[in-house]
Amino acid sequence: MLGGVLLVAFVFGGGGIGAPRGNLLVQLAAILLLSARMDNVAQFWRESPLILRGLIIASLALPLFQIIPLPPSAWANLPSAGLVADSLTAAGAANRWMPASVDPVRTMLALSALITPATVLWVGWSLPRERLIDCGWGVVALGLLTVLIGLLQVTSSSEALTPHGSRAPGDLLLGLFANRNSTALFLGFTLSLAALLPSPIRHPAVGLIRAAVCVLLMIAVVLTQSRTGQVLALIPLTLGLIRGLTALLPQRQGSSGSRSMLIALAAGAIVLGGVGVLVAAAPGRVAAALERFEAKDDPRRFIWDDAVFSAERYWPVGAGMGTYDDVSLVDESLENLTKRRAGRAHNDYIELAIEAGAFGLALAFGWIVLVGWLSWKARHSSMRWAAWSGGVFLFAVALQSITDYPLRNQTMLAFAAFALLLLIRTASSRRETAA
Question: Taking Cα atoms as reference points, which of 235, 226, 245, 240 lies closest to residue 392?
Answer: 235
The more confidently predicted of residues 327 and 266 is: 327
Give 336's pLDDT tier (boundaries 50, 70, 90): low
Neighbour-count burial for 92-105, b at 16+ CB within 10 Å, e otherwise: eeeeeebbbbbbbe
Fill in the amino acid letter for 24.
L
What pLDDT shows up at residue 211? 87
Instruction: Express each pLDDT in 187-244 by its tens digit.
Output: 999 999 999 999 888 777 777 888 899 999 999 999 999 999 999 999 998 888 888 7
Residues in CB range of 169: below 8 A, 6 or more apart: 153, 156, 157, 158, 159, 162
Give the pLDDT confidence score for residue 166 in this predicted structure: 75
Q: Residue 290: is its pLDDT beyond 50?
A: no
Is 89's pLDDT higher than 60? yes
Average pLDDT over residues 281-295: 47
Q: What is the DSSP string of 33-53?
A: HHHH-HHHHHHHHHHS-HHHH
419, containing H or E segment:
helix 410-428
Whether the bond between 117 and the residue before it is cis, its omega within 30 degrees of 0, is: no
DSSP output for 381-399: STTHHHHHHHHHHHHHHHH
One-character DSSP codes across 130-196 = HHHHHHHHHHHHHHHHHHHHHHHHHT---GGG-TT--SSTTT---TT-S-HHHHHHHHHHHHHHHHH
For residue 183, the tally of other CB atoms under 10 A from its CB is 28
The mean pLDDT value of the chain amounts to 83
pLDDT, average across residues 252-268:
48
Q: Is the dihedral of CA 342, 346, 350, 351 positive or negative?
A: positive
Residue 83: pLDDT band by 50, 70, 90 thresholds? confident
The answer to whether the CB of 315 falls within 8 A of the CB of 358 is yes
Report the SS3 class of residue 116.
Answer: helix
- CB count in 10 Å sphere of residue 315: 14
> What is the chain's alpha carbon radius of gyration, rounded to the nearest angstrom?
23
Is 112 exposed, middle or buried, given 0-12, 13-18 or 19+ CB atoms closer than 10 A?
Answer: middle
What local confidence, expressed as pLDDT, does residue 342 receive? 64
Q: Please give the pLDDT value at position 52.
A: 94
Residue type at 398 in one-letter notation: A
Q: In angstroms, rounded to a whole number, what is the distance separating the alpha carbons of residues 191 and 205?
A: 18
Return the domain boundaries, the chain.
1-126+366-435
| Cβ-proximal residues to 285 (8 Å cutoff; 6+ apart), any chain | 154, 171, 222, 223, 225
Q: Give the three-state DSSP class for 293.
A: helix
Do 71 and 51 contact (CB within 8 A), yes or no? no
Q: Quick one: the chain helix, strand, coil %, rounded to 5? A: 70, 0, 30
Distance CA 370, CA 424 (A): 10
Local confidence band at 41 (pLDDT 50, 70, 90 cut-offs): very high
- Please determine, for residue 434, whether its predicted confidence score (pLDDT) is greater than 50: no
Q: Residue 307: name the closest of 324, 286, 294 by CA.
A: 324
Total number of residues shown for the chain: 435
Residue 356: what pLDDT? 94
Q: CA-to-CA distance for 191 and 142, rounded, in angstroms?
A: 11
b/e 355-370 (16+ beta carbons within 10 angstroms → b) = bbbebbbebbeebeeb
CA distances from 373 to 145, 236, 415 (A): 33, 19, 20
**Tell me: the pLDDT tens digits for 361-392?**
999 999 999 999 999 988 888 888 999 999 99
Task: Identify whether the C-beta of residue 432 lies closer than 8 Å to the C-beta of residue 382.
Answer: yes
